Amino acid sequence: MEVAFNYKEMVQNVQCYFQLFYDFNLNWFWKQKQEAVVQCHFELEPTNFWRHQVVGFAMTVWVQTEVMPSEDAARNAWSWALNTFVDFMKMQTLPSGRKFSPMY
């Protein structure tokens, strides 16, 4: 999955992405009921948002399952991890006290 913020100030600030990683991995994921054995790997890459003439970052989240007994079991584990990440992302809000410039 590739994730980027929708605000110029946030795509340019690598700390915003680190905060997502930290909050997901250390403060949220391990508190969820673990329905599958998966690993989530986070990668940060520089990117250009050409339409808005902004150079910033995007984050890729790779989900890996353990070796599973069947394709269905692997798909179920991956789906659980994806849904867990989406649920986390839905809870995110903008930091308060700052003004942001939306891009899309």
pLDDT at 94: 85
Alpha helix (H) residue ranges in 13-70: 14-22
Per domain, the residue ranges of the chain are 2-76
- Rounded mean pLDDT, 1-25: 93
pLDDT tens sequence across 41-76: 999 999 999 999 999 999 999 999 999 999 999 999
CA-CA distances (angstroms) from residue 37 to 29, 42, 64, 68, 93?
A: 12, 17, 9, 10, 28
Contact 103/54 with Cβ under 8 angstroms? yes
* CA–CA dist 53, 40 (Å, integer): 31
Cross-strand partners of 60 = 2, 43
pTM value > 0.85: no
